[in-house]
Structure 1
Amino acid sequence: MNFKKWISFGLAGCFLFSGCAAQREQAQAALENSQQENRYEATSFAMDTVMTFTIIHEDGEELLIDAEQEIRRLENLFSVTLDDSEVRQINENAGDKPVHVSADTLALLKTGEELGEKTGNAFDIAIYPVVKAWGFTEEEHSVPSQETIDRLLPLTNLDGLILNEEDSTAYLEKEGMAIDLGGVAKGYASDRVKDLLKEKGVESALLSLGGNICAIGSKPDGNPWKTAVQNPIDENDYVGLLEATDTCIITSGGYQRYFEEDGKRYHHIIDPATGWPAESGLLSVTIVCESGTKADALSTALFVMGLEDALSYWKSQNDFEAIFVTEDGEVVATEGLKDSFTFEGKDNDFTYRLAER
């Protein structure tokens, strides 16, 4: 983990997506040209992604270490690849026996199960066998046959996940079933780190877990943090800026991980109903929500749903907002973001509208 104390702070906005080197250089220059004590920043690699923590606190150096240790602890529970992780043990004992799990794993399994039910299984923590068949787990990509997909889809039914809260165990009823918490793990980790830092008295911080953003409070000057919503067709561009105070901002999009075969692009967001990459007409979905866990799951679920069904789901809820970028070049923000989202994609031929309840 690399960390240092920043004695400067003057950035108007934090551009926190991959690429966009020019903005990052401008941000760095802004930081170095102004003064602010007790700013600490660390960069680490965990959960298969780069994470950056910015904490404004006199004990920031120690808190950065605490934050990284919490991330490592959760990774050791949730990783689908680490030999001794609880998720790996659940998968290896599918169809055989229940596995005793920690409170964190049980809580996240239960939340994943509930969010799957609420989204009509558009989000599915049991989709792992199909994702693996596409090669996204080991990044050895290939298009599986329809026969393979048809054979694996019955293994993704969450009815086969048995959680026993009294005994704190998890059990997959069918051999070959497997769960993957990657769709919610970073969101959950951001929630846990946020809680840890708040308990330690932190009132201003920004956490970026592979682009999953979690803002604690506002910037020290009282202004909200700012983050850019990436243009899905140009990693060096963005379609707008979001102001954030005490909230999480998480984006899912087909542009993030994909491969091409025979001239066709296949992305990593699998539709649980078909076993194929979702063809929903969306390029990306950004969720703004107090809960990082929920935002993480919903960014995937609403991407799978497509714009109209996603907006219908949003209208039925009252605890999150969203920004959609469509294949037709439209940016749609929900009305709760009217005052916090600034559309800046018109020069790239995007159109913009506000969705109302």
Structure 2
Amino acid sequence: MHWDKEFIQLLGIQYPLIQAPMFGVSTVDMAVAATQAGCLGSLALADIDADAAVQVIRATRKLTDKPFAVDLFVHRIPEVTPELVRKYGEVKAFLETFAAQHSIEVVIPELSAFKINEYHSLVDVAIEEKCKIVSFTFGNLDETSIARLKAVGCILIGTCTSVREAKILEKSGIDLICVQGIEAGGHRGSFVDEEIPQIGGFSLLSQLYDTVDVPLIYAGGLSNGRTILAAQVLGAKGFQIGSLLCASAESSLKYFEKQRLISAKEGDVILTKSFSGRYARGIKNTFTDAIDDSGYILPYPYQNKITGVLRAVAKRNEKVDFLNLWMGQSLPRFSERSTADILKELLADVERYRGYKI
């Protein structure tokens, strides 16, 4: 079994490995290093403002002429109601008291101080900057945005966590679908059901292969050649690599954060809404223990904004028990080498197992 040539040619890459767009972890240098390995690099634009997005895209283009994707957070922004303002005040007071109890001095601003960016301005940036590959998560692009991006030749990659979500993406004309297994680190891309689907990644991938006609990219638990080949057998054309790269030389994580990832053991990794208001998989710590069942969680992106202030102070003071460290269930063998070297070794591992007889 070899790589799918049509998939590789569509994206203009040599190998169908995709560096996951991990906002807060992946960097311009990580995306560039992935392209140097013949894979697809990704820029996690998330919900940053348009000017910052332009700078990131142009900085990447200065370092590589190879294809890379830009990734957007396509989420609904909750209306600021009196109830939300009241709840924000309660969460603010709780977090400030909680921080003080742990010797973290932080003053959290009022809700009105935060700027909330919606994704349409980033669609404009993707078009103006002639980005050829646009991926997204937390929802589906609106019809107008899909039409505009397709009109200029963009390849669109949506994220699903269920059969229902995949069908919605396919019906909308999305070119490729990233199937996010429950094993995957970071935020869940769920956008249909109020409670996130609990189906295992390989079970979901197998079902989708029999359900939709859109080429599938798999994300979740891919940490060696065997897992990649297993995903390929189940129908994946592309393979998104995330946790394995979190401790790489190009990761934005600090040394003390990387060491916490490296030391993680079974039972350390959980799903939590405490940091952002959306479910994400990462390391359990003092913060998640205190917040998850406290009732002091705002809807995304307001929880993400309010805890971000505390996290910034905690990071400066190297208080790892108050930081979000996302990683998947596989507890991969982390490496602090270059992203390019990690991906090349992963590709070599795939080749070692090709033709393996079970």
Q: Normalised by the size of structure 2, how large is the TM-score? A: 0.27
Greater share of strand: 1
TM-score by length of 1: 0.27
Structure number with the bigger relative contact order (C-alpha 8 A, sep ≥ 6) is 2
Q: Larger helix proportion, structure 1 or 2?
A: 2
